Structure 1
Amino acid sequence: MARLAVKLLLLDEDDRILLIHAQDPQTHARCWYPVGGGVDPGETLQQAAAREAYEETGLCDLSPGRHVWTRDHTYEFDGRTLNVHEEWFLHRVAHFTPSPAGLTEYESTTTLGFAWWTAEALRTTSETVYPPQLAGLISTKARQSL
């Protein structure tokens, strides 16, 4: 059964997206991915989005986002295969410096840092970014949110 998750396209005023840099503890492969995580029992998607934004970046009072995408995905991390059903939301935020407020011990060991990325930087990077189509997604969704 797939785990329900929210993923957040946190776009600042210059259409840059905040991504987390992580490293797989077993393979040591590094990647970048958007903020987000599992939805707890009894939580709405927006509540989960606000909680994940706070825990992972320290961002308080996340305003409701606009639903922009749904994805079913299977990936491997730390020797486990994970099946997720992701609901993606676009949130416009003021640029800020992330300061995680509630990472688990495990998340603290896998998280290397954060960076704000432009769609162009995502298109041209040789680094691993998930999902691979993120540059096109944020370009399209950013234009639609204007």
Structure 2
Amino acid sequence: MTVKLLLLDHENRVLLIRAADPRTGRQWWYPVGGGVEPGESLQQAAQREAYEEAGLAQLPMGTLVWTRDHTYRYDGRTVDVHEDWLHHTVQHFDPAPANLSDYETKSVLGFRWWDAEQLSQTNDTVFPPGLGDLLSALLRDGPPPVPVDITEPARS
């Protein structure tokens, strides 16, 4: 299981990481987050990941808004994950990773704060697909009473 963080600043911009697959060179944007370690709660994993990947030492409590099951290829491997997405409102900050894993060190290229419109209009690859529209709906409607499953339909 993994936790994904929608780190939104007070201008409703979300922090995304730019990365490249070390084997293929393919690049994409994705949110801060990673695996939940044994014995960790989602909030504890979110706090750890926010610090390790972005250098954010103080993370306010998050709200579970989405879930997603996803299969992807990275560095020649196929990875199946279940993601729980937490929304956090944070002060704007300049990301500075504090403790990247070996594979993150090889793949992370940088960071950017995006607003929903920019995400909807970009030609860059962004995960999850449709993040701009998902973020717009979250900002418009507020957190859902139960997490929304944003798993993409299987391609045939």
Class of the TM-score when normalised by the shorter of the 2 chains: over 0.9
- Deviation of 1:142 (Å): 2.3
Conservation of the 8 A alpha-carbon contact between 1:90 and 1:141? no
Alignment-derived partner of residue 7 in structure 1: 4
1:12-49 deviations in Å (ceiling 9; x for gaps) = 01110000000001110000000000000000010000
Alignment-derived partner of residue 119 in structure 2: 122
Matched, 1:66 2:79: no
- Name the count of aligned residue pairs: 142
| Alignment of structure 1 residues 38-77 onto 2, 5 Å | 38-77=35-74
- Equivalents in 1 of 2:106, 2:68: separation in Å? 27
- Equivalents in 2 of 1:82, 1:32: separation in Å? 17
- Deviation of 1:51 (Å): 0.3
**Gapped regions of structure 2 (runs ≥ 5):** 144-156
Alignment-derived partner of residue 111 in structure 1: 108
| Amino acid across the alignment from 1:65 | G
> SS of the residue aligned with 1:62?
coil
What TM-score, normalized by structure 1, do the two folds share?
A: 0.95
Conservation of the 8 A alpha-carbon contact between 1:56 and 1:100? yes
Displaced runs of 4 or more, over 4 A: none
- Deviation of 1:138 (Å): 1.3
Which sits farther off after the overlay, 131-140 or 10-19?
131-140
- Equivalents in 2 of 1:98, 1:114: separation in Å? 7
Alignment-derived partner of residue 25 in structure 2: 28
Share of identical aligned residues, percent? 59
- Deviation of 1:140 (Å): 1.7
> SS of the residue aligned with 2:32?
strand
- Equivalents in 2 of 1:108, 1:84: separation in Å? 21
Conservation of the 8 A alpha-carbon contact between 1:70 and 1:85? yes
What TM-score, normalized by structure 2, do the two folds share?
A: 0.89
